[in-house]
């Protein structure tokens, strides 16, 4: 009887422990996403959702709070950082078009976010602790590596997140290697592959200028401003989660520390709102989706260009869904529905969508590729020309200049993409390749995050190039020795020939004098 009671008591306590003490098998993650661009946050949000879905505990500082949930805590930065949403297109061209202005902005914005983070109450509170209560820090990298100071202060592994497909101007500093400008187009280039000598030349100059200028102004900022975070040595990341994929980006050499998770922001489709769904399904010739993303306001583009676009779209047989900030716009054509926001991802997956007119932001590019929809691209700035050029190379897109749009060229491009079946076929091929992966992005993020923590920062993944001086990296010391050896051999050969010639002349002179 006593034995039976013991068994019952043990069983009761085991059940009680199972109910109230859940095993914690996830890592504790601190995420910093201070860039107030919606597409940037889409990528980071996708990564963090993948981590919480796999049982990790995430605390994130973000300018786009959406509410806490299980294993997920947000700290609002929306009132502290400069918004990069719905900008006037003239301001975009003024501030982001010239390379030097763009690099200056990237550095200044990055350092401003570092200042904001260092003064944030939550960061201040954890900075006073002797030991950080997190296993790894995940940070969105834009320009300055000052954001790595928390990793340096607490000796916690660092993971970088890069929303653009690549960060040409920071690759040497972050990954240890320069991208080869002969085969890898710069993120700011207007081509996806440098095919001609002129493109290779301009690509090389662009890489040289942006890398050197960013390093210079970053160094100057640390010297002049002398912020508290500048006192820490820059930390190199254990790994980098890159918003890239070989379907939407040309093949290139990658170190093992770069994990490609392009498309991680793509969520399972939801039901389209009834009014939009009815509009789509009652379109016998299909639907065209038009948007310029979240950064640029469509209402800010030149009036003549905007009128030409609307006039052409009103004449096509398809219905049009247009993302436009002013829903009260007068004289809206019957075949056009205007809203401030559309569930773009869900709409593109509808089989009745025939064309996607877009600015070429990487989030929209992945949505179009995943859905297998042809694209008419109007790139505005940064990586958008390169993103769209990759789709042109895949045979599923046509590229146009937004500032030079006229009725004839725009109508011709729209009809070509809608009526020529090769664009839709190529889009479906790209979609099939994009989805064919050995591991989903979500599982890859979970695995590699655990890998970094499990292997104490995974220092073995970092390139040995970090241990080399610049002249060693470019083999200038080896080349110098090689040249010296050649010069030495040439000198020895010269002296040998000189002495041989001198000896021959001497002997011939002696024999001649004897004969006389």
* pLDDT tens per residue across all 516 residues of the chain: 455 454 444 554 444 443 333 344 788 999 998 888 888 889 999 999 999 999 999 999 999 988 888 889 999 888 888 877 766 676 776 767 778 888 888 888 888 888 888 888 888 888 777 677 899 999 998 888 888 888 888 889 999 999 888 788 899 999 999 999 999 999 888 888 899 999 999 999 999 999 999 999 988 988 888 888 888 888 999 999 999 988 778 888 889 999 999 999 998 889 999 999 999 999 999 999 998 877 777 777 777 888 888 889 999 999 999 988 765 666 788 899 988 889 999 999 999 999 999 988 888 999 999 999 999 998 887 888 888 999 999 999 999 988 778 888 999 999 999 999 999 999 999 999 999 988 899 999 999 999 999 999 999 999 999 999 999 999 999 999 999 999 999 999 998 888 887 777 766 666 666 565
DSSP string, 286-316: -EEEE--TTTB-GGGS-HHHHHHHHHHHHHS
Nearest residue to 145 via CA among 130, 119, 122, 167: 167
- Rounded to the nearest angstrom, the gap between the alpha carbon of residue 54 and the centroid of all alpha carbons in its chain is 23
Residue range 458-469, pLDDT digits in tens: 999 999 999 999
Q: Which CATH class is domain 274-435?
A: alpha beta
Q: Are 423 and 414 in contact (CB under 8 A)?
A: no
Provide the 10 A C-beta neighbour count for residue 152. Answer: 15
C-alpha to C-alpha distance for 217 and 211, rounded to whole angstroms: 10
DSSP annotation of 143 reads: S
Provide the 10 A C-beta neighbour count for residue 169. Answer: 27
Pairing assessment for the beta strands 72-76 and 136-140 based on DSSP bridges: unpaired
Nearest residue to 295 via CA among 465, 95, 455: 95
Residue range 67-92, pLDDT digits in tens: 888 889 999 888 888 877 766 676 77
Nearest residue to 321 via CA among 341, 302, 301, 305: 341
331: left (phi over 0), alpha (psi -120 to 50) or beta: left
C-alpha to C-alpha distance for 80 and 113, rounded to whole angstroms: 9
What are the residue ranges spanned by the domains of the chain? 28-265+439-470, 274-435
C-alpha to C-alpha distance for 279 and 339, rounded to whole angstroms: 13
Work out the angle at residue 393's Cα, subtended by the Cα atoms of residues 387 and 396, and round it to the nearest 5 degrees: 85
How far is the first Cα of the chain from the last one, in angstroms, to the nearest whole number?
138
Residue 76 bridge partners (DSSP): 62
- pTM for the structure as a whole: 0.85
Q: Are 247 and 365 in contact (CB under 8 A)?
A: no
Length of the chain: 516
Place of tokens 């003064």: 119
Structure tokens at 87: 């900008």
Q: Are 120 and 97 in contact (CB under 8 A)?
A: no
Orientation of helix 407-419 relative to helix 303-315, angle to 10°: 40
Using the CB atoms, write b or e for 184-220: b if 16+ within 10 Å.
bbbbbbebbbbeeeebbebbeebbeebbebbeebbee
State the burial class of residue 94 (Cβ atoms within 10 Å of its Cβ: 0-12, 13-18, 19+).
exposed
Provide the 10 A C-beta neighbour count for residue 402. Answer: 17
CATH fold for the domain made of 28-265+439-470: Rossmann fold (3.40.50)
Q: Are 395 and 423 in contact (CB under 8 A)?
A: yes
C-alpha to C-alpha distance for 292 and 358, rounded to whole angstroms: 5
Comparing 28-265+439-470 with 274-435, is the CATH topology the same? Answer: yes
């Amino acid at each position: 009887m006593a034995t039976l009671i013991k068994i019952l008591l043990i069983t009761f306590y085991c059940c009680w422990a199972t109910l109230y003490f859940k095993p914690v098998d996830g890592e504790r993650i601190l995420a910093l996403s201070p860039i107030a661009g919606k597409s940037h946050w889409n990528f980071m949000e996708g990564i963090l959702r993948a981590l919480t879905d796999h049982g990790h505990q995430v605390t994130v500082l973000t300018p786009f709070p959406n509410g806490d949930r299980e294993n997920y805590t947000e700290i609002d930065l929306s009132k502290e950082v400069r918004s990069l949403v719905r900008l006037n297109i003239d301001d975009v061209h003024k501030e982001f078009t010239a390379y030097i202005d763009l690099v200056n902005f990237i550095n200044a914005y990055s350092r401003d976010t570092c200042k904001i983070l260092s003064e944030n109450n939550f960061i201040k509170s954890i900075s006073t602790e002797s030991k950080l209560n997190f296993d790894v820090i995940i940070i969105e990298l834009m320009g300055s590596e000052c954001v790595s100071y928390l990793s340096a202060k607490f000796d916690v592994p660092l993971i970088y997140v890069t929303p653009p497909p690549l960060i040409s101007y920071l690759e040497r500093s972050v990954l240890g290697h320069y991208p080869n400008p002969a085969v890898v187009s710069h993120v700011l280039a207007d081509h996806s592959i440098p095919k001609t000598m002129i493109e290779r030349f301009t690509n090389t100059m662009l890489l040289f200028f942006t890398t050197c200028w960013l390093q210079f102004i970053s160094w100057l900022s640390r010297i002049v401003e002398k912020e508290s975070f500048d006192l820490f040595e820059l930390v190199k990341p254990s790994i980098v989660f890159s918003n890239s994929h070989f379907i939407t980006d040309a093949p290139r050499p990658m170190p093992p520390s770069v994990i490609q998770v392009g498309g991680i922001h793509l969520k399972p489709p939801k039901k389209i709102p009834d009014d939009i769904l009815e509009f789509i399904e009652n379109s016998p010739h299909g639907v065209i989706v038009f948007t310029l993303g979240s950064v640029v306001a469509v209402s800010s583009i030149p009036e003549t260009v905007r009128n030409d676009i609307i006039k052409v779209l009103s004449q096509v047989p398809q219905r049009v869904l247009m993302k436009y900030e002013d829903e009260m716009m007068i004289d809206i054509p019957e075949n056009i529905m205007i809203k401030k926001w559309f569930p773009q991802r869900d709409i593109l997956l509808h089989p009745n969508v025939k064309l996607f007119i877009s600015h070429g932001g990487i989030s929209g590019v992945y949505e179009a590729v995943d859905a297998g929809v042809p694209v008419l691209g109007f790139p505005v700035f940064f990586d958008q020309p390169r993103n769209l050029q990759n789709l042109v190379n895949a045979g599923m897109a046509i590229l146009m200049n937004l500032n030079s749009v006229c009725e004839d060229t725009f109508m011709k491009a729209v009809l070509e993409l809608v009526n020529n079946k090769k664009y839709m076929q190529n889009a479906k091929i790209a979609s099939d390749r994009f989805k064919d992966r050995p591991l989903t992005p979500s599982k890859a993020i979970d695995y590699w995050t655990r890998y970094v923590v499990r292997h104490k920062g995974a220092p073995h993944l970092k390139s040995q190039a970090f241990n080399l001086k610049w002249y060693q990296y470019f083999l200038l010391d080896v080349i110098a020795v090689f040249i010296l050896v050649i010069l030495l051999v040439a000198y020895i050969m010269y002296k040998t020939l000189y002495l041989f010639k001198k000896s021959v002349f001497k002997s011939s002179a002696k024999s001649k004098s004897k004969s006389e």
